[in-house]
Chains A and B, each alone.
Chain A
Amino acid sequence: MSKISAVLIDLSGTLHIEDLAIPGAQAALELLRQHAQVKFVTNTTKESQSLLHKRMIKCGFKIEKNEIFTSLNAARDLIVRNQYRPFFMVDDRAMEDFEGISTDDPNAVVIGLAPEKFNDATMTQAFRLIKEKNASLIAINKGRYHQQKDGLHLGPGAYVAGLEYAAGVEATVVGKPNKLFFESALKTFQDDVDFSTAVMIGDDVNDDALGANKVGMRSILVKTGKFRDGDESKVKNVADSFVEAVDMIIQNRVNM
């Protein structure tokens, strides 16, 4: 089996749950760094790199801000590469990650999570750009819904699906589990990393484990966070937690 040279690690549910680190995860991370390069990858539509970084520090992890790669960063990459001038439907807290991007005369619609923008006027504005100016539709992710303190909330996927239907287009989705995301994340490593020598550690069977497998990476599903009984039957490598996942990598016990 080819040796693992790079590891992508999910944050929430894998290294920590809210403000608590998974027991032993900080030390395991230090150990892993001696064997492979690491990056921290997460789907987020509303939290900037620095916000996420602060939380990791608070949980006791030694992590640099630029080691975190989010779906917002992947979106920024895509925007820069294609010279998009976006109309943003994105939470204000996340806009920090798009600093310096021109929004004049928009040629793209970028959708994150922004409940206050899910109304007829803003949707019509986005629709007209797509329909009349051929603007590209970009989804930071396509989540269906999520839990908040006061109950369930529609996710950005709903807005995206609505615009896809109305304008007759298909959105480019940049978050996990899309190939583009894993590709962009691997490109942030100093050395060229091939999919076959990289592994993804995460608690989401679809977005993390199967998503990585689909692009030719290996993956380890951890039984913490959103892991549900039965998920283990869908994947090749399962670990009780991040700590065991690190052991598997060091001992080169991660199956293709």
Chain B
Amino acid sequence: MRMRSNEKSGKGMSNGRAVNGFLLDITGVLYNSIYKSDGVAIAKSAEAVDFLYKHSNVKFLSNAKGNSNRNVARRLQRLGINVREEDVITPAPVVAQYCREHKLRPHLFVREDVLQYFDGIDTSSPNCVVMGEVEEGFSFERINRAFRVLIDMPKPLLITMGNGKFFQRVDGPCIDVGAFAAALKFSTNCEVLNIGKPSRFYFEQGINALGMKPEEIVMVGDDLMSDVGGAQACGMRGIQVRTGKWRPDFEKLPVTPDLTADCLYDAVKLIADNGFRL
């Protein structure tokens, strides 16, 4: 197949560094989301995933915050993309673990499907707010409740599952949790702790799951600042795909991907053809 990638990709590839593991973003890389449906697979992403399972190491590092890992994996399987549940990393279980370790009592502003991860955590007299998915049923009443909990705290703390500005749905870009975090921060002056990309703590979950050094890993994503820039800041290489929320004007932003490819399959093929070096 023919590769179409940016000028960087052609140069000096053969003496690039070894790529031993792949972290893949899910939405906008494996599939595109459609409101109230499973969405639609991105061409050849299923083949790319199969190929990586067979020839390399792969984990899926997503900021998806509305569904459990099981349901994220099942949705992908329904789209013909064979992702194993145990290889999916999403913020909700990581946030729950963080609350346990730091003895936090969260006010939960999250979707029902991820509540299971918070089983057994004390949520009485909350000392932080945990905010997840904003799509659907996100009413003034709910955000105002979170606001009142925060404004009553001596040191308000808001933990968000990612701080994205928007996510791409097939019908257009949709405002993401980061905007509502900014809203609550403006009104309560709370501290915002992001547990999701691009936070280092969250990328480390992916690095640890692969069990290798960051230098050996490439992160593939559609969000230049969060996926690519965030991965690079952790010592990984960042690959931009021209799917999902990618925009031509990304070139003006202050992050330069290690590789830009039209889609996941192209990126994987290019690296594989180069002897798993980049």
Residues of A at under 8 Å CB distance from B?
115-116, 118-120, 123-124, 127-128, 131-132, 144-145, 151-155, 157-168
Contacts and interface: CB of A to CB of B under 8 A. Distances in A.
A120 B183 CA distance: 13
A55 to B, nearest CB: 26
B112 to A, nearest CB: 16
Interface of B: 134-136, 138-140, 143-144, 147-148, 151, 165-166, 172-176, 178-180, 182-188
A144 B151 CA distance: 11
A166 B175 contact: yes
Contacts of B136: 120
Contacts, number: 86
Interface centre among B135, B174, B185 (most CB of A within 10 A): B174
A58 to B, nearest CB: 30
B138 A165 contact: no
B183 A158 contact: yes
Contacts of A128: 172-173
A162 B173 contact: no
B140 A144 contact: no
A151 B140 CA distance: 14
Question: What secondary structure prevails in chain A residues at the interface with B?
Answer: helix
Contact of A158 (B138, B174, B175, B187): B187
A154 to B, nearest CB: 5
Contacts of A154: 140, 143-144, 147, 183, 187
A29 B33 CA distance: 62
A164 B178 CA distance: 11
B183 A167 contact: no
A118 B175 CA distance: 12
B202 to A, nearest CB: 19
A144 B150 CA distance: 13
B187 A131 contact: no
A157 B186 contact: yes
A120 B134 contact: yes
B175 A159 contact: no
Contacts of B182: 161-162, 164-166
Contacts of B143: 118, 154
Given A158-B186, A161-B182, A161-B185, A116 B140 contact: yes
A116 B173 CA distance: 22
A224 B146 CA distance: 33
A153 B151 CA distance: 10
Contacts of B185: 161
B174 A155 contact: no
B161 to A, nearest CB: 15
Given A120-B134, A127-B166, A161 B172 contact: no
B179 A157 contact: no
A162 B140 contact: no
13 contacts: A119-B139, A119-B140, A120-B134, A127-B166, A132-B172, A144-B188, A158-B147, A158-B186, A160-B186, A161-B185, A163-B175, A165-B182, A166-B166
